[in-house]
């Protein structure tokens, strides 16, 4: 076997697995969200006991930003106009967009669909759609799309959607189980926030960004189901987003970029690369 091949949990080189098999493994991992016991073949998660005082902050290195751009854009086919669409896409609902535009709460809080995310340009539609799907599930809008939602409910649902997606990224086993993130160092969601006042496509690589690490904390059981770990970590991340000014940054023009940086940092570059279909 060549050094470039990876072994699956069954001993089969992952390079021999089809794209359909890879997707099936991911879905199986995410199905644990509901709290089902960890499969014996899944790496055991032994959480570290931590508290809010142990949330750490560090500056994001330029090398990470450079690798992020390499993973996100194909230098051979992506144009400056394509890239600019990603650097000018906020993550905000119609509620927050109205507040931003007129400087006050919407005149008609009875408006329908104010929980909907606003997409400015074509390009990052897949990112917006994934977050929107979690918002719809959280607010139970699949039964009543005309349901009236308050600004506070809308903000909470958006924070929860972002937090849940990041928690799944932190916990779900990678396709290459040999590189599972479950380790003695614990599991955490990594939130990327700007230190500079304004970040653009032109100054991105010279921008100052910080990493806020939100650790998994479970003092009750040394061994947990994947579902309970996701729930615990998602809740801690949601509260962090609700209480601070983080959502202001996600609602800025670089909102989608910040979210994807969080995904990459939380999941890990190696896990992202090993999970690609192509």
pLDDT tens profile 114-128: 788 988 888 899 999
Q: Which of the pair, 83 or 55, is modelled with greater confidence?
A: 83
**Quick one: pLDDT at residue 5?**
40
**Does residue 160 carry a pLDDT above 50?**
yes
Give the pLDDT of residue 121. Answer: 81
**132-156 pLDDT per residue, tens:** 999 999 988 877 777 888 888 989 9
- 12 or 202, which is more confident: 202
What's the pLDDT at 252?
A: 92
What pLDDT, on the 0 to 100 scale, is given for residue 52?
Answer: 43
Is 29's pLDDT higher than 90?
no
Overall average pLDDT of the 257-262 stretch = 97
Q: Is the pLDDT of residue 86 over 50?
A: yes
pLDDT of residue 127: 95
Lowest-pLDDT range of 159-168, 171-180, 222-231: 171-180
- Between CA 19 and CA 272 the distance in angstroms is 15
Looking at residue 123, its pLDDT comes to 86
Query: How high is the pLDDT of residue 164?
Result: 96
The confidence score (pLDDT) of residue 226 equals 80
Residue 276 pLDDT > 90, yes or no? no
Q: At what angle do helices 94-102 and 151-171 cross, to 10 degrees?
A: 120
Position 111 scores a pLDDT of 56
* Predicted model pTM: 0.72
Phi, psi of 22 (to 5 degrees): -60, -45
Task: Write the pLDDT tens digit of every residue in 183-242.
Answer: 334 689 999 999 876 899 999 999 999 999 998 864 444 566 788 888 889 999 999 999
Output the pLDDT for position 59: 87
Rounded mean pLDDT of the chain?
75
pLDDT score, position 185: 42
Q: How confident is the model at residue 18 (pLDDT cuts 50, 70, 90)?
A: low
* Other CB atoms within 10 Å distance of the CB of residue 4: 7
pLDDT in tens, 42-81: 333 333 333 444 566 788 899 999 999 999 998 888 899 9
């Amino acid at each position: 076997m060549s050094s470039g091949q990876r072994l699956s949990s069954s001993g089969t080189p992952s390079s021999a697995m089809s794209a359909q098999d890879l997707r099936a493994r991911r879905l199986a991992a995410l199905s644990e969200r509901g709290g089902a016991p960890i499969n014996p073949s899944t790496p055991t998660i032994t959480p570290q006991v931590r508290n809010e005082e142990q949330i750490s902050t560090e500056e994001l290195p330029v090398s990470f930003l450079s690798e992020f751009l390499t993973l996100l854009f194909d230098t051979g086919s992506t144009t400056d106009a394509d890239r600019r669409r990603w650097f000018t896409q906020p993550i905000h609902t119609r509620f927050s967009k109205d507040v931003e535009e007129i400087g006050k709460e919407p005149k008609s809080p009875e408006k329908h669909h104010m929980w909907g995310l606003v997409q400015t340009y074509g390009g990052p539609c897949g990112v917006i759609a994934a977050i929107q799907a979690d918002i719809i599930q959280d607010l139970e809008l699949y039964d009543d799309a005309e349901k009236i939602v308050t600004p506070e409910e809308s903000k909470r649902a958006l924070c929860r959607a972002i937090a849940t997606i990041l928690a799944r990224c932190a916990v779900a086993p990678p396709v290459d189980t040999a590189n599972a993130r479950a380790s003695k160092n614990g599991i955490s969601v990594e939130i990327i926030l700007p230190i500079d006042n304004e970040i653009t496509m032109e100054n991105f690589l010279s921008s100052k960004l910080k990493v806020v690490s939100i650790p998994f904390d479970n003092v009750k059981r040394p061994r947990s189901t994947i579902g309970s770990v996701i729930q615990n970590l998602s809740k801690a991340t949601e509260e962090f987003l609700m209480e601070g000014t983080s959502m202001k940054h996600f609602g800025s023009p670089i909102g989608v970029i910040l979210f994807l940086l969080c995904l990459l940092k939380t999941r890990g570059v190696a896990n992202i690369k090993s999970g690609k279909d192509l």
